Amino acid sequence: MIIDLRGKVAIVTGAGRGIGRHIAMTLAQEGVITIGTDIRAELLEELGQTFAEQKLSGAQFVCDVRNSKQIAEVVEEVRSRFGRIDILVNNAGVASGGIVEELKEEIWDANMDINLKGTFLMSQAVAPIMRAQQSGRILNAASFAAIVPSYGGAAYSSSKAAVKQFTRVLAGELGPYNVTVNCYSPGMIPTEMNHFAEQTEERQNRLLDTLTLRRWGNKEDVANLICFLASDLASYITGTMIDVSGGKLATQIPSIAYEAAARRESLKS
């Protein structure tokens, strides 16, 4: 089987850096006309230069996912220029936090406005186009925090859990029009936002010990899943959340398996 996305039109939010940039680049390299949005013009300019150098198809627009007017303008421009919208990847997000007693209201609002409201507004804007086409894929960034939250992560975890439920509702509403809606939950994938790979060796080992596959994830792991879910091969998958975490907490203490494996190897020698 070959994933064939050539000629599709996609919008990827938060495409200026991190996982979003990699998703945008991967889709474009697969032949998708890829529109990247972000709030930082300089990041989009760099992305545009890379697109030009690699002769990739697409465009870049500054857009704040909290602003319905800006979203409407971008979505209409994409529809007008390219005739359709086949894929929406709601990647834009923030992960600021703090313990509840000390959590600032503006941090709570930022998580809800960008992670959740942004997903809602973008989906609301493209839904009529996909409904009219009788086809489409909406892919929303949740997080492993939507499954098991972290200390100090009330705002982030709440927003991502809400994204999961929003995904299920929207899948139900758009099912009659052959539009699928899914979300994905990255685990420990080092980015500029989470700084996993920049922490102390002791802290890194502590985090890696929670993984069934004891290594950091790669941006490619998420981008490859996006390509699959956006393709015709995933046409019967909707309303679900797929965990991309290397089996984080698949068992209660994953590190036990590594300790047992090390003992077996030592006995051989």
In a domain, 265, yes or no: no
What is the C-alpha separation between 22 and 155, in angstroms, rounded?
26
In a domain, 266, yes or no: no
Is 258 a known active-site residue? no
Say how many domains are in the chain: 1
CB 118 within 8 A of CB 13: yes
Q: What is the pLDDT of residues 36-89, one digit of tens each?
A: 999 999 999 999 999 999 999 999 999 999 999 999 999 999 999 999 999 999
In a domain, 4, yes or no: no
**Phi and psi torsions of 253, nearest 5°:** -135, 85
**Strand locations in the chain, DSSP E?**
9-13, 33-38, 58-62, 87-90, 136-141, 179-186, 241-244
Average pLDDT of the chain is 95
SS3 sequence of 67-101: CHHHHHHHHHHHHHHHCCCCEEEECCCCCCCCCHH
Q: Is the four-CA dihedral 228, 31, 185, 140 of positive or negative sign? A: negative
Give the Cβ contact number of residue 149 at 10 Å. Answer: 17
Which residues constitute the domain of residue 226? 9-204+213-249
What pLDDT was estimated at residue 268?
A: 82
In a domain, 3, yes or no: no
What pLDDT was estimated at residue 194?
A: 75
Catalytic hit among 151, 156, 177, 258 = 156
pLDDT at 254 over 90: yes
Whole-prediction pTM = 0.94
Tokens describing residue 177: 């029009």
pLDDT at 249 over 90: no
pLDDT at 192 over 90: no
In a domain, 100, yes or no: yes
CA distances from 29 to 36, 55, 79, 260 (A): 14, 9, 21, 42
Q: What is the pLDDT of residues 128-177, one digit of tens each?
A: 999 999 999 999 999 999 999 999 999 999 999 999 999 999 999 999 99
In a domain, 23, yes or no: yes
What pLDDT was estimated at residue 267?
A: 87
What pLDDT was estimated at residue 197?
A: 79
CATH code, domain with 175:
3.40.50.720
> At 174, is the secondary structure helix, strand, or coil?
helix
